Amino acid sequence: MAEVTLEVSRRERSGKEYAKKLRQDGKIPAVVYGGHKEPVAITVERKAVSDLIQKSDHGIRSIFLLKMSGTDQQRHAMIKDMQMDPISRRMTHIDFVRVVMDEVVRVTVPVNIIGNSIGVKEGGILDWQIRELHVECLPSAIPDKIDVDITNLGGHEQVRVSDLQLPEGVKVSEDVQRVIVGVTSPRAEVVAEVAAVAEPVVGEPEVIKKGKPETETKE
């Protein structure tokens, strides 16, 4: 995975009003933590980080080389969490976690379906159960996606974690029996099968008469 360089500045102040002022100026309050060191409060240019995420092949999963403005300090980091404004959908805060390039990290990677399933062509329904997978690998080996070829996937067949062809050095930290994608029968077909095996109703339904029951007449 290629790294992207992002210039950051140390944030000396805190508080809601100060954070609001930063956002008005096109900056985002952020923090860098992890790596057995104390957290550091920083600011980043909103446009700069947004452009880097959009241009990078790995997007938000990119490895950033954070360079502290006015110093020779730099540190590899990844975005751990990003807060967004619910209305404008602009970034309002970023949590970076420090990354050591020779230490294994655990990240989520999207699943990418390839091909047209034979089972779907025959009338089945694609049941895509897992859209992201947790993987463990060195930062430089993080894949941008994990491909799953379903071309030969027939009806009532499944692809499990154990069936994946993973890049070298990448390990999926999921149950190997978890189903990623499968082909199921159409619901109408299932309903028809259930109706066919249902037991027929025996006997006539009881008729409940309306009104008061008849009473014996004394002679």
Band of residue 200 on the pLDDT scale cut at 50, 70, 90: low
* DSSP run (H or E) holding 25: none
What is the predicted pLDDT for the residue at 144?
Answer: 86
Give me the architecture of the 3-98 domain, per CATH: Beta Barrel (2.40)
What is the predicted pLDDT for the residue at 199?
Answer: 54
Residue 211, pLDDT above cutoff 80: no
What is the predicted pLDDT for the residue at 3?
Answer: 74
What is the predicted pLDDT for the residue at 187?
Answer: 64
User: Token pair for residue 80?
Assistant: 């751990």
In the predicted model, what is the mean pLDDT of the chain? 86
Which of 3.40.50.12280, 1.10.275.10, 2.170.120.20, 3.40.640.10 would CATH assign to domain 105-195?
A: 2.170.120.20
What is the predicted pLDDT for the residue at 179?
Answer: 97
Annotated domain spans of the chain: 3-98, 105-195
Residue 209, pLDDT above cutoff 70: no
Token pair 């249902």 is found at 198
Contacts of 74 (CB under 8 A, 6+ apart): 65, 66, 67, 68
Band of residue 219 on the pLDDT scale cut at 50, 70, 90: very low
- CA–CA dist 155, 36 (Å, integer): 50
- CA–CA dist 42, 29 (Å, integer): 6
Band of residue 198 on the pLDDT scale cut at 50, 70, 90: low
Bridge partners (DSSP) of residue 182 are: 127, 158
User: Token pair for residue 19?
Assistant: 């954070």
CA atoms within 13 A on the CB side of 57: 7
